[in-house]
């Protein structure tokens, strides 16, 4: 008889997992208010009251104790806005992690620059500062650091490198809403902090994003870049007039957040700290239970004072199991848990099948975009051995965490069923 559910056996669990996204109290009322407001976007006529977009921008800036927030249509848009606001353009090089979501490479290519992937630290899976230092050239125009899964990168070392070389540091916080480093929210250490509010994120409106900065001039550039070269008018407009002024200072693109998304985010932001605390408590249970099975939990940099768990991540240490590959192990565990969100790690950027600039005519003839020649041994090992658990499962209770441990235990005990 087949033991593993993925091969037709009985799963260890049939109960469903916490549904994500989960709307905050008052979400329907907020959406209904937008629906009947006569204004569905910041680019619509002013209706006599502050837009949800501006209300969310103020709340998100206050949450981070920083001066400025510019909402955007997506995390990808936030990265492109930040890069261009920092002056990155044609022919420049941008250092990115070798282990991350594909957007970190594609956005660099999207502003006509060249992504330079460097390897990650084996414990944190975030940018290795030593590798960053070695990769800097006279063409390096920015460093993008990703706080990956549940770890915060070594911001002490990375900010020192950026300052020494006078290169802007951009923090990609798409997976780290609310995390703290030396008691400061992440996103406040670099020239910009960028965020995604896509469906899977711990703060979500389905799609959406934001950039934050303490620099008023950079914020003004970001406003222009995300609203077709327009920025907020200095004074409150009359009802029916536009709140975006055509300054002709800087050409931009339309990357604005809608009023519906901003209304959702205002409510979701109020729940974020409490939800993050629950995830941390459950992550500690997984650290113990899965650690005992030989899965080494991801660690965060020493300066971290509060983690955010977008994904619980751990490296399978047993060679016999690890060599099977997480692309087989993760679905087998998920099958034991009624389809819980258990995933393989991101593939290393030099082997990421989603990064294919040669398939786009706009990138034809641009040198340096092919990343297959880079050596990223730590990222490549993570792609084979690191397994992740989506944060929605971490909103459950202690019994749910025990089920996850039991599922891994069963798959590990019967791992030979997964060999090809």
E-state strands within 46-187: 68-72, 93-97, 114-118, 140-146, 169-172, 180-181, 184-185
Sign of CA dihedral 332, 338, 339, 340: negative
User: Cα separation of 415 and 321, whole Å?
Assistant: 7
- Supply the residues annotated as catalytic: 201
Sign of CA dihedral 90, 94, 99, 104: negative
The residues with which 193 forms a beta bridge, in sequence order, are 171, 212
Nearest to 342 by CA among 295, 379, 375: 295
User: Could you tell me the two tokens for 64?
Assistant: 């981070």
The helix-helix angle for 259-291 and 52-64 (nearest 10°) equals: 40
User: Cα separation of 262 and 56, whole Å?
Assistant: 6
CA distances from 160 to 30, 97, 167, 216, 315 (A): 43, 17, 10, 22, 29
R_g (Cα) of the chain, nearest Å: 22
Instruction: Find the angle CA(386)-CA(145)-CA(177) to the nearest 5 degrees.
Output: 80
CA distances from 382 to 65, 71, 135 (A): 34, 33, 21
What would the 3-class secondary structure string for 325-352 be?
CHHHHHHHHHHHCCCCCEEECCCEHHHC
**CB 272 within 8 Å of CB 387:** no
User: Cα separation of 21 and 206, whole Å?
Assistant: 8
User: Could you tell me the two tokens for 146?
Assistant: 């990703």
Burial of 223 (0-12, 13-18, 19+ CB in 10 A): buried
């Amino acid at each position: 008889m087949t033991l593993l559910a993925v091969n037709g056996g009985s799963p260890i669990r049939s109960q469903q997992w916490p549904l994500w996204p989960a709307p905050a109290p008052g979400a329907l009322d907020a959406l209904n208010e937008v629906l009947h407001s006569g204004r569905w976007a910041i680019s619509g006529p002013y209706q006599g009251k502050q837009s949800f977009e501006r209300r969310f921008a103020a709340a998100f800036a206050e949450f981070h104790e920083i001066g400025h927030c510019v909402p955007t249509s997506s995390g990808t848009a936030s990265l492109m806005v930040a890069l261009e606001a920092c002056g990155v353009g044609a022919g420049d090089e941008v250092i990115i992690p070798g282990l991350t979501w594909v957007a970190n490479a594609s956005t660099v290519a999207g502003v006509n620059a060249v992504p330079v992937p460097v390897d990650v630290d084996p414990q944190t899976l975030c940018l290795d500062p030593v590798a960053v230092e070695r990769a800097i050239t006279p063409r390096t125009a920015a460093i993008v650091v990703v706080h990956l899964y549940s770890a915060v990168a070594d911001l002490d070392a990375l900010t020192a490198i950026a300052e020494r070389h006078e290169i802007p540091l951009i923090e990609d916080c798409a997976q780290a809403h609310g995390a703290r480093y030396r008691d400061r929210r992440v996103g406040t250490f670099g020239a910009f902090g960028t965020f995604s509010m896509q469906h899977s994120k711990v703060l979500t409106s389905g799609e959406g994003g934001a950039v934050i900065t303490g620099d008023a001039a950079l914020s003004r550039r970001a406003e222009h870049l995300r609203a077709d070269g327009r920025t907020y008018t200095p004074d409150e407009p009359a009802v029916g007039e536009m709140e975006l002024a055509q300054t002709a200072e800087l050409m931009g693109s339309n990357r604005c957040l809608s009023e519906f998304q901003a209304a959702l985010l205002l409510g979701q932001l109020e729940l974020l700290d409490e939800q993050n605390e629950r995830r941390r408590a459950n992550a500690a249970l997984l650290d113990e239970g899965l650690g005992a099975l030989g899965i080494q939990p991801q660690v965060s940099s020493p300066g971290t004072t509060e983690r955010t768990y977008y994904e619980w991540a751990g490296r399978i240490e047993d060679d016999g199991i690890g060599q099977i590959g997480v692309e087989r192990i993760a679905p087998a565990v998920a099958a034991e848990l009624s389809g819980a969100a258990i995933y393989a790690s991101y593939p290393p950027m030099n082997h990421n099948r989603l990064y294919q600039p040669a398939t786009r005519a706009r990138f034809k003839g641009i040198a340096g975009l092919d990343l297959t020649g880079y050596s990223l041994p730590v990222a490549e090992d993570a792609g084979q051995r690191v397994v992740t658990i989506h944060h929605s499962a971490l909103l459950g209770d202690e019994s749910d965490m025990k089920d996850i441990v039991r599922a891994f235990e069963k798959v590990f005990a019967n791992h030979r069923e997964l060999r090809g």
